[in-house]
Structure 1
């Protein structure tokens, strides 16, 4: 009996308790970092050089993978929608279904994967390397706040780059689906554009951009927290990067589901 109790206590200490502590630490750091971001901008202490540097770095890391993923996503959505529309005799509505699918779900999901996999891993590896080299401790000793100097610029850059990536995926995905439908599925340009414009509304794009903004914020918070709490030398950096990517992907997919459900409840699809 005592062995079972000891095992349960050890399991609680190693898994659920540690997970709750990590989640609470990330929430605390997230609020503090966002507050520091706005305070630094208002007081003109925001490190714009670091912000621009991080924007350029994140864009260079994520732009090419995003393009390579957005093209097949547009083709796959077009193929699946075209097959279903052909079975039910609704081929004239392929443009609406394809375009809305890319805007509402395809673009945010591709953005979340790129932010979690490319941007988040880069942030975590950078801060994790600084942590094990004791650069973060040295900054605190010198009176430099890591939240203002390192975390806040990365949060702002991740949010901006995430929104830009989402818009990029929307454009590439819709254009790819349009070209594929016209030249491979025998669709007509007027029908594709006409049905899309009849069903799509501006709010759809705004919600997708808001999703990507939230994804960038959450991925940056998780990556920064994991990197700043790296332990165990170079091997610990690899473990932190893996943890940050997995945690970010799970969190972003869950948040995407929640936002989608709230949007569908508050703004149900219109009947045309």
Structure 2
């Protein structure tokens, strides 16, 4: 009698085919999806910028929606920003005060603390709070409209979603980001000054004099440029993720989470690039 060999079930994939299928699926889910997302966000940003300029020139800009969104963003972000700025400024004052005392340069604590707040602390705090509070709200709003088919209905009626929804949110995010950064600079410097003078025994005159000796207008210009770019990044990423939401309420939650995480990562990368470019293009002279 001949032995009957057991054969694999018909149509069952081999191990090599399974590995190839998993590899293609991983590439579709991660690298290629990331490239498509970045490309879509870039296109959305370019089109929103074009519509913003043309609508302002033609006096078709939705000013009412802009004011409403700006007020909402300011109410959402200003209080958390205040409560985050104060401890960060105090922490910087403690660290710079200890370092200045070890080096015997306590009179330079004001310059170090103030420049750290203006150049890095204020724009980053404002941007992160914008991404966490404002970006999540924008993404949730647009995502809920997407899954309720409101966006599709607007497109069927011939209404431009970018002009009607994205452009006013982009303009509002830039204005609020710049205002919030200025507010953060003031609160951070004031908190550092009060902590250094009151609890660390610093001299008020030396604190302000050292800061005014090293701080320049270019530092403030760099901070405002950062704030503008940060506002654009938060608005575009949040709008794109909200308009791209799928699969019901869980898709909206995933869109909000992705918007916050991606915004913060992009903000960190852009901050490093801008800071390095500023130091290369405008080197500080030694004293």
**TM-score after normalising by structure 2:** 0.93
The RMSD of aligned alpha carbons is: 0.8
> Does the alignment pair 1:203 with 2:218?
yes
- Describe the superposition over 1:19-53 as per-residue Cα deviations: whole angstroms up to 9, x where unpaired: 10111011011100111111111111110000000
Aligned to 2:76: 61
Aligned to 1:188: 203
State the 4+ residue runs in structure 1 displaced beyond 3 angstroms. Answer: none
Aligned to 2:60: 45
Q: Which runs of 5+ in 2 are unaligned?
A: 1-15
**TM-score after normalising by structure 1:** 0.99
Q: Which runs of 5+ in 1 are unaligned?
A: none
TM-superposed deviation, 1:18: 0.6
Aligned to 2:5: none
> Does the alignment pair 1:17 with 2:32?
yes
Which has the larger Rg? 2
Q: How far apart, CA to CA, are the structure 2 residues paired with 1:176 and 1:268?
A: 29
TM-superposed deviation, 1:262: 0.2
8 Å CA contact 1:199, 1:270 repeated in 2: no
TM-superposed deviation, 1:5: 2.1
Aligned to 1:34: 49
SS in 2 for 1:63: helix
Q: How far apart, CA to CA, are the structure 1 residues paired with 2:285 and 2:188?
A: 23
SS in 1 for 2:111: helix
| Partner of residue 86 from structure 2, selected from 61, 71, 89 | 71
TM-superposed deviation, 1:6: 2.1
> Does the alignment pair 1:8 with 2:23?
yes
| Partner of residue 159 from structure 2, selected from 134, 144, 158 | 144
TM-superposed deviation, 1:101: 0.3
Q: How far apart, CA to CA, are the structure 2 residues paired with 1:233 and 1:24?
A: 24
> Does the alignment pair 1:82 with 2:97?
yes
Q: Following superposition of structure 1 onto structure 2, how do residues 232-251 of structure 1 map, counting pairs within 5 Å?
A: 232-251=247-266
